[in-house]
C-alpha cells in the first residue's frame, strides 16, 4: 500500500505541518488492511507502534475478567490509537478491533517517530493536544463509572418513558438516554447490558421490554 505525504497530512499528528517537512515520513510508515471484527492490538501486548486509522473505523475497549466489555472510544479516519503505550509504558492498555469492513491502519514505530517530533514543534503540539483530549475523555469515563449511579439513572429514564402516548411507545436512542443521564453513550450501552443480565429488561431488537419494574424502581431510588 503506497502511503503519500498527502495521506499523512490527514492524520491528527501531522495536521498543519508543512508538506516539505513530511517528505521523508512515508517511508517510515507501514500499513495493513483489517476486516470487520479483526483484533488490531490486544490489551497487555508490548506494542510500540503509533497507529492511525486511514479508512474504516476502530473500537477501543477493555474487557473485564468476566468478559464484560467497556468501549473506551471509537476511532475514526485520521485519528490515532496506542498513543499511551508509545509515549510511556510500552504495553497497550486496551484492545483495538476493526469495526469497518475494510479498515486500513497506518503505523509508525516510536523509534522512528520520536526523532521526527524532536525536529518539529507542530507535531509535538498536536500530540500534546491529542493526549490532553484523551486524558479528558478517560477522566470523564472514570467519573461516570466511579461516582455516578448511571445504571440507576438509566433505570429511571426507562421507567419515565415506558408509558405509551397517543402515538405509541416512546422511542429513545442511546445518545438521547446518555444526554438525559449526563453520561456517555458507551456507558449507557454498558448499563443496558447490565440491566439485561440482571433480568430487569430484555433487549428485543428495537425494543427495550421492562421485565422487572420493582427492581428498576429500587435501582432508580423510586421506592
What residues make contact with another protein under the rule CB under 8 A?
A: 36, 55-57, 71, 74, 76-77, 99-103, 158-159, 161-163, 167-176, 185, 189, 203, 205-210, 213
Q: How far is the CB of 173 from another protein (least distance, A)?
A: 5
Q: Is 144 exposed, middle or buried (0-12, 13-18, 19+ CB in 10 A)?
A: buried
Closest CA to 108 of 48, 60, 19: 48
Nearer of residues 91 and 169 to another protein, judged by Cβ: 169
Q: How far is the CB of 75 from another protein (least distance, A)?
A: 10
Q: Distance between CA atoms of 27 and 8, rounded to whole angstroms? A: 11
Q: Distance between CA atoms of 7 and 1, rounded to whole angstroms? A: 11
DSSP conformation class of 217: H
Q: Distance between CA atoms of 94 and 107, rounded to whole angstroms? A: 17
Q: How far is the CB of 26 from another protein (least distance, A)?
A: 24
Q: How far is the CB of 139 from another protein (least distance, A)?
A: 21
Nearer of residues 23 and 203 to another protein, judged by Cβ: 203
Nearer of residues 111 and 173 to another protein, judged by Cβ: 173
Nearer of residues 47 and 183 to another protein, judged by Cβ: 183
Amino acid at each position: 500500500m503506497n502511503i503519500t505525504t498527502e495521506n499523512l497530512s490527514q492524520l491528527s499528528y501531522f495536521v498543519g505541518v508543512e508538506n516539505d517537512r513530511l517528505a521523508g515520513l512515508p517511508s517510515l510508515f507501514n500499513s495493513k488492511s483489517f476486516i470487520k471484527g479483526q483484533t488490531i492490538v490486544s490489551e497487555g501486548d508490548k506494542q510500540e507502534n503509533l497507529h492511525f486509522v486511514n479508512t474504516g473505523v476502530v473500537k477501543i475497549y477493555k474487557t473485564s475478567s468476566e468478559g464484560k466489555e467497556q468501549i473506551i472510544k471509537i476511532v475514526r479516519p485520521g485519528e490515532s490509537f496506542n498513543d499511551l503505550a508509545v509515549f510511556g509504558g510500552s504495553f497497550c492498555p486496551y484492545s483495538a478491533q476493526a469495526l469497518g469492513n475494510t479498515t486500513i491502519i497506518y503505523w509508525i514505530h516510536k523509534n522512528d517517530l520520536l526523532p521526527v517530533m524532536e525536529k518539529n514543534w507542530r507535531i509535538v503540539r498536536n500530540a500534546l493536544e491529542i493526549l490532553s483530549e484523551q486524558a479528558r475523555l478517560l477522566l470523564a469515563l472514570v467519573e461516570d463509572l466511579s461516582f455516578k449511579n448511571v445504571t440507576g439513572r438509566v433505570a429511571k429514564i426507562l421507567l419515565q418513558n415506558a408509558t405509551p402516548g397517543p402515538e405509541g411507545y416512546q422511542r429513545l436512542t442511546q445518545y438521547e438516554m446518555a444526554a438525559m443521564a449526563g453520561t456517555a453513550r458507551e456507558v449507557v450501552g454498558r448499563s443496558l447490558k447490565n440491566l439485561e443480565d440482571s433480568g430487569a429488561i430484555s433487549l428485543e431488537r428495537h425494543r427495550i421490554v421492562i421485565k422487572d419494574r420493582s427492581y428498576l424502581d429500587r435501582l432508580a431510588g423510586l421506592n
